[in-house]
């Protein structure tokens, strides 16, 4: 089997770290692995398959001889360096929001739109974490009953905001237990023992950017602009795993029982739905897993064709690192790379 030269940009971050682990766990056909980050991390060593791999400082020559590059170092780095890599013929799978809505860039969730990958589209965007886990569940429902409108509220883990945010939650919990005040550097307010209805920046329409990403990205991935969606995105004091309450209105009637049957067979989805035995998806159970978990499947009794579901997935894996590596696997499967 052919092996590929793979670069990870932002290798020392919360997502980058999981990308390296994912390549290892999936036994991805790596010939050479190049780890890139800022000058702060240059010289540091990270483990890959038991070996020490040095972290190099990212520069314009970093992509020579590479074939696939996984980016997770923020939008400004992606804006600057993804075109540099693409010009070298490298397939860039970018986890930032920089390229997602560019009409020449495929925005891909392999269970939903693998056909959007193309040989001449060197930059590929990895969608927003909250959107990814939602669309793997929406896709089979849309195919069966045609979705008209979605109302979603998210309960997002702090790891979505990176490594520093996880440290902040842990330190706040400790400070408060010691009777000391909680220090806020990453989040605008104390996140320990709190819930903050604000992720990413506020826009002119008073929605946050995170909320509008869910609106626009869902339509692009599903390839259907007619799907109406409204979102409220909320930060909760959970380390890993985003949860979502999703209300779905469909054109055709779909019973909760039929929806459950379909979801149990949907790719990448695991149904955990047994209320009598208190079984439903929990963030703490999904940590470290690549699947998307769905439960609490119910009829929306206030309208004629509606469902309510509860969706949970590890935001650092299906929401970021796994979806990126899965796209790379798909490029190989489709003989694109
Ligand atoms: O710009 P955005 O889009 O708003 O994104 C902001 C951040 O969100 C995270 C990610 O943070 C990103 O930087 N992120 C983005 N998408 C995400 C998603 N879908 C997401 N998180 C979750 N889900 P992160 O901390 O996880 O990762 C940051 C990585 O990017 C590298 N990086 C930063 N600037 C770079 C760069 N790489 C190349 N060139 C640059 N100019 C960064 O590497 C990390 O790998 P690093 O070397 O800067 O950081 C290594 C470690 O150093 C610590 N650290 C970070 N900042 C400082 C610091 N130490 C001291 N002083 C600092 N100012 C951290 O512990 C880090 O792990
Ligand atoms: O991928 O939880 O657009 O703060 C960046 C920040 C996802 C979540 C993205 C967060 C996000 C995120």
Q: Say whether both 289 and 179 belong to one domain.
A: no
Q: Say whether both 181 and 223 belong to one domain.
A: no
Closest CA to 297 of 268, 250, 265, 258: 258
Mutation to probe ligand 1, out of 16, 38, 127, 324 (largest number of atoms < 8 A from CB): 38
Phi and psi (nearest 5°) for 258? -65, -40
> Residue 59's pLDDT is what?
98
Query: What is the percent of the chain with per-residue pLDDT over 90, rounded to a whole number?
Result: 100
- Give the tens place of pLDDT for each residue, 217-272: 999 999 999 999 999 999 999 999 999 999 999 999 999 999 999 999 999 999 99
Q: How confident is residue 181, by pLDDT bands cut at 50, 70 and 90?
A: very high
> Residue 8's pLDDT is what?
99
Contacts of 113 (CB under 8 A, 6+ apart): 106, 107, 221, 222, 223
pLDDT mean over 29-34: 98
Q: Which residue has the CA at smallest separation from atom 1 of ligand 2? A: 128
Contacts of 287 (CB under 8 A, 6+ apart): 239, 240, 241, 314
Enter the pTM of the model. Answer: 0.93
> Could you tell me the distance, in angstroms and rounded to a whole number, from the CA of residue 153 to the centre of ligand 2?
15
- Beta bridge mates, 56: 36
Q: Domain containing 27: what range?
A: 4-127+320-333
Query: What is the percent of the chain with per-residue pLDDT over 70, rounded to a whole number?
Result: 100
Q: How confident is residue 195, by pLDDT bands cut at 50, 70 and 90?
A: very high
> Could you tell me the distance, in angstroms and rounded to a whole number, from the CA of residue 255 to the centre of ligand 1?
44
- Lining residues, ligand 2, CB within 6 Å: 97, 128-129, 156, 160-161, 199, 213
pLDDT mean over 186-192: 98
> Residue 191's pLDDT is what?
98
Supply the residues annotated as catalytic.
129, 242
**CATH assignment at residue 143:** 3.30.360.10
Q: Say whether both 148 and 171 belong to one domain.
A: no
> Could you tell me the distance, in angstroms and rounded to a whole number, from the CA of residue 37 to the centre of ligand 2?
19
Terminal Cα-to-Cα distance of the chain (whole angstroms): 13
Q: Say whether both 104 and 215 belong to one domain.
A: no
Whether residue 275 contacts residue 287, with contact meaning beta carbons closer than 8 Å, is answered with no
CA distance 6 to 34: 6
Closest CA to 73 of 324, 285, 332: 324
- Give the tens place of pLDDT for each residue, 290-307: 999 999 999 999 999 999
Q: Which residue has the CA at smallest separation from atom 18 of ligand 1? A: 160
Q: Say whether both 228 and 282 belong to one domain.
A: yes
CA distance 10 to 292: 25
Q: Say whether both 253 and 136 belong to one domain.
A: yes
Q: Say whether both 83 and 148 belong to one domain.
A: no
> Residue 333's pLDDT is what?
98
> Residue 80's pLDDT is what?
98
pLDDT mean over 71-83: 98
Q: Say whether both 139 and 277 belong to one domain.
A: yes
For residue 43, is it left (φ>0), alpha (ψ between -120 and 50) or beta? Answer: left
> Could you tell me the distance, in angstroms and rounded to a whole number, from the CA of residue 158 to the centre of ligand 2?
10
Q: Say whether both 141 and 287 belong to one domain.
A: yes
Average pLDDT, the chain: 98
> Residue 136's pLDDT is what?
98
> Residue 220's pLDDT is what?
98
Whether residue 48 contacts residue 306, with contact meaning beta carbons closer than 8 Å, is answered with no
Q: Say whether both 62 and 117 belong to one domain.
A: yes
- Give the tens place of pLDDT for each residue, 203-216: 999 999 999 999 99
Structure tokens at 69: 């590059």
- Give the tens place of pLDDT for each residue, 16-29: 999 999 999 999 99
Helix (H, G, I), strand (E, B) or coil at 31: strand
The position carrying tokens 């390549």 is 23
Mutation to probe ligand 2, out of 74, 95, 97 (largest number of atoms < 8 A from CB): 97
């Amino acid at each position: 089997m052919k092996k590929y030269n793979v670069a990870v940009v932002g290798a020392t971050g919360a997502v980058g770290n999981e990308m390296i682990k994912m390549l290892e766990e999936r036994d991805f056909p790596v010939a050479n692995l190049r780890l890139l980050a800022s000058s702060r991390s240059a010289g540091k060593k990270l483990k890959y398959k038991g070996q020490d791999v040095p972290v190099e400082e990212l520069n314009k020559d970093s992509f020579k001889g590479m074939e696939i590059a996984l980016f997770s170092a923020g939008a400004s780095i992606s804006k600057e360096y993804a075109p540099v890599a693409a010009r070298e013929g490298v397939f860039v799978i970018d986890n930032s929001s920089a390229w997602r809505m560019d009409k020449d860039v495929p925005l891909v969730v392999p269970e939903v739109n693998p056909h959007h990958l193309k040989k001449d589209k060197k930059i590929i965007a990895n969608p927003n974490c909250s959107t990814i886990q939602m669309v793997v569940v929406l896709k089979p429902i849309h195919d069966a009953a045609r979705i008209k409108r979605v109302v979603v509220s998210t309960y997002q883990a702090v790891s979505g905001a990176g490594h520093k945010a996880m440290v902040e939650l842990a330190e706040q919990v400790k400070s408060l237990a010691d009777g000391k005040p909680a220090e806020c550097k990453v989040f605008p307010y104390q996140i320990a023992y709190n819930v903050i209805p604000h992720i990413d920046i506020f826009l002119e329409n008073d929605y946050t950017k995170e909320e509008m990403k869910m609106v626009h990205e869902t339509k692009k991935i599903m390839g259907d602009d007619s799907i109406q969606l409204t979102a409220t995105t909320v930060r909760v004091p959970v380390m890993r795993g985003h949860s979502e309450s999703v209300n779905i209105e469909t054109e055709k009637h779909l019973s909760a029982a039929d929806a459950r049957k379909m979801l149990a067979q949907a790719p990448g989805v695991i149904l955990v739905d047994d209320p009598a035995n208190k079984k439903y998806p929990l963030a703490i159970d999904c940590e470290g897993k690549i699947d998307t978990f769905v439960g609490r499947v119910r009829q929306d009794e206030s309208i004629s064709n509606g469902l309510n579901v509860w969706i949970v997935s590890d935001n650092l894996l299906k929401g970021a690192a796994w979806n990126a590596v899965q796209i790379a696997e798909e490029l190989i499967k489709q003989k694109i790379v």
